[in-house]
Amino acid sequence: MKKLLKIGIALVSIILFTVIAGILYVSYALPNVGPPPQDLKVTATAEKIARGKYLAYHVLQCIDCHSQRDFSIFSGPPRMGTEAQGGERFDQTMGFPGIFISPNITPAGIGDWTDGELYRLITTGVRKNGDPIFPVMPFESYGKLDPDDIEAVIAYIRTLQPTATNHPESAPDFPFNLIMRTLPKKAMPEKKPLPEDQVAYGKYLVTASACNDCHTKSENGTVTGELLAGGREFLLPGGVLTSSNITPHETGIGAWNREMFINRFKSYQNHEDLPRVGPMDFQTIMPWYMYSGMTEDDLSAIYAYLRSINPVDNKVIPFKPNS
């Protein structure tokens, strides 16, 4: 009996030691994506700043998340006067594992960051102090983009009017505060394809816009559905929103021609025409107003890419209201 007790105590001790060692490793050794590029100095030309503004507003959606969105209006456009100042809240009521507050990305919030630190944050999800950010910002997708585009965004946000804010810190729930540390990975940048290659360039834009993050079904951070076939659920005050199938199947965009696709986006470009919605009405997190500012050439390239992918039979009910 004493021998069995000693064996039991030894096994418990080993398990306890392993758990503690694992927690310490995750807490202090991760994330491990390498240091920020020390020699990166972004040259802020007028052309680069203009490109960065276009990307930040209409493609990467930096301004959309780093503002406070007005969900009394369809598609939740940014509240005028809060652009880039942060403060948008993502919490447990929306299905998030904690409380996450988008930070201020005006020079008042990032003025003491080097260009290299900003580049590492955007492309790997690691802050200047080495801590990870929550992947509601799709840093894995951004890490696949052409460095010139990331530098353009950095050049643009450096030009914003500095506005001081006092947002609370994000607070991930346990054990996601540990899991978060395992998510960042080293950037794998790719050269931006020439626009003439519409399918390749469209794929690049789909990556930059992180379409896959919402339009591919996932549960608890694990992909469970087919690429861009929709089905991911989002909790909203009025009910459950389910992302659309945007593959070229008849249950997706199979019946859409190029003009229909472009016009769908452009129909939301006038802020004053966006309908007001009540808390129990159909609403969407899809930032139609922001995406509507994409050029027709870019939208055409996205359409060309979406038409090239595998069609998936997945009929989606976009919104299920609360009973």
| Interval 3-45: pLDDT, tens | 666 666 667 667 666 666 566 566 667 689 999 999 999 999 9
How high is the pLDDT of residue 322? 86
Query: Given CA atoms 47, 156, 298, 191 in this order, what sign does their dihedral have?
Result: positive
| Interval 99-109: pLDDT, tens | 999 999 999 99
CA–CA separation, 260 vs 296, rounded Å?
A: 12
Mean pLDDT score of the chain: 93
Strands 98-101 and 89-90: antiparallel
Say which amino acid occupies 49. Answer: I
How high is the pLDDT of residue 47? 98
H-helix segments, the chain: 2-29, 46-54, 62-65, 107-110, 115-124, 139-142, 147-157, 176-179, 198-208, 211-215, 258-266, 288-291, 296-308
Give the Å distances, CA to CA, from 253 to 262, 291, 303: 12, 18, 9
Give 114 or 17, the one with higher predicted confidence. 114
Query: Given CA atoms 6, 7, 12, 14 in this order, what sign does their dihedral have?
Result: positive
CA–CA separation, 186 vs 126, rounded Å?
A: 10
Cβ burial of 281 (10 Å; 0-12, 13-18, 19+) is middle
Side-chain-side CA neighbours of residue 98 (13 Å): 19
How high is the pLDDT of residue 10? 60
- pTM for this prediction: 0.93
Q: With 70 as the cut, is the pLDDT of residue 63 above it? A: yes
How high is the pLDDT of residue 95? 84
Give 117 or 28, the one with higher predicted confidence. 117
**Lowest-confidence range among 108-122, 153-167, 199-213, 309-323?**
309-323
Give 237 or 256, the one with higher predicted confidence. 256
Residue at token pair 């919030």? 109
Work out the pLDDT band at 238, boundaries 50, 70, 90: confident
The dihedrals phi and psi of 222, each to the nearest 5 degrees, come to -110, 130
Q: For 161, left (φ over 0), alpha (ψ -120 to 50), or beta?
A: beta
